[in-house]
Chains A and B, each alone.
Chain A
Amino acid sequence: GQQLNQSPQSMFIQEGEDVSMNCTSSSIFNTWLWYKQDPGEGPVLLIALYKAGELTSNGRLTAQFGITRKDSFLNISASIPSDVGIYFCAGQGYGGSQGNLIFGKGTKLSVKP
């Protein structure tokens, strides 16, 4: 079945540093989504990408849909303590069994003030 490889698994950074995380897939996706999850809460959508090559920003967050449609990355600039949490990528194919939204295992971000 489809699998997403998300890396790194965890990151420990200093406040103010930039962060980069990525997801790769063995299959082509038509949609990439990035979510953030705080403890005890449901994932909250950060950025949605629908077109190969698309680069989208949301404040200090920037995400790109890879040209091959098999990867995506998320960058966070000038990290702050409230960026702490688990970040998930999710990809969706198109049609039949490819239509399910598949999630990566998450990147746990810790920010030292």
Chain B
Amino acid sequence: EAEVAQSPRYKITEKSQAVAFWCDPISGHATLYWYRQILGQGPELLVQFQDESVVDDSQLPKDRFSAERLKGVDSTLKIQPAELGDSAMYLCASSLAQYHRDSNSPLHFGNGTRLTVT
């Protein structure tokens, strides 16, 4: 079965440094999501793309976070500068369509990048 690929799996960085995560969605999936999951919590949406366009970035801390999906395929999430409170799992997910009931295509997650900021 096709998978959402994410790298790196683990990242340790010092506060104030820049860090970047990469995601390659399932082929053909137009919708791509970045979620942040703090330990013991459910995933929370940071940004959603439809093809190369941002659909929702209302929960993205734009002073330090940025995301792009230039060609509508893979995506990069960047944090600069990283803060201690950014330590979390960053999950990428993709789906065929924004509204899962439209395509009977639910969201599929990658295995995430575990970020530790020291």
A residues whose Cβ falls under 8 Å from a Cβ of B: 4, 6, 30-31, 33, 35, 40-45, 48, 50, 88, 90, 92, 94, 97, 99-101, 103-106
Question: Is residue B42 within 8 Å, beta carbon to beta carbon, of the partner chain?
Answer: yes
Mask, B4-29, CB within 8 Å of A = 1, is: 10100000000000000000000000
A33, B99: Cβ atoms closer than 8 Å: no
A50, B104: Cβ atoms closer than 8 Å: yes
B109, A44: Cβ atoms closer than 8 Å: yes
Interfacial residues of chain B within 67-81, with CB under 8 A of chain A in the complex: none
Complex CA distance for A78 and B55, rounded to whole angstroms: 42
Residue of B nearest to A105 (CB): B42
A92, B41: Cβ atoms closer than 8 Å: no
A48, B106: Cβ atoms closer than 8 Å: yes
Residues of B near A45 (CB, < 8 A) are 106-108
The interface size of chain B toward A, counting residues with CB under 8 Å, comes to: 28
Residue of B nearest to A95 (CB): B99
A30, B101: Cβ atoms closer than 8 Å: yes
A31, B101: Cβ atoms closer than 8 Å: yes
A101, B101: Cβ atoms closer than 8 Å: no
A92, B44: Cβ atoms closer than 8 Å: no
A50, B42: Cβ atoms closer than 8 Å: no
Most buried by A among B93, B101, B114: B101
Residue of A nearest to B9 (CB): A40
A41, B98: Cβ atoms closer than 8 Å: no
Q: How many Å from the CB of A47 to the closest CB on chain B?
A: 9
Complex CA distance for A108 and B111, rounded to whole angstroms: 19
Complex CA distance for A100 and B108, rounded to whole angstroms: 15
Residues of B near A48 (CB, < 8 A) are 100, 104, 106
A40, B114: Cβ atoms closer than 8 Å: yes
Complex CA distance for A41 and B10, rounded to whole angstroms: 12
B100, A50: Cβ atoms closer than 8 Å: yes
Mask, B85-118, CB within 8 Å of A = 1, is: 0000001010000111100101111111010000
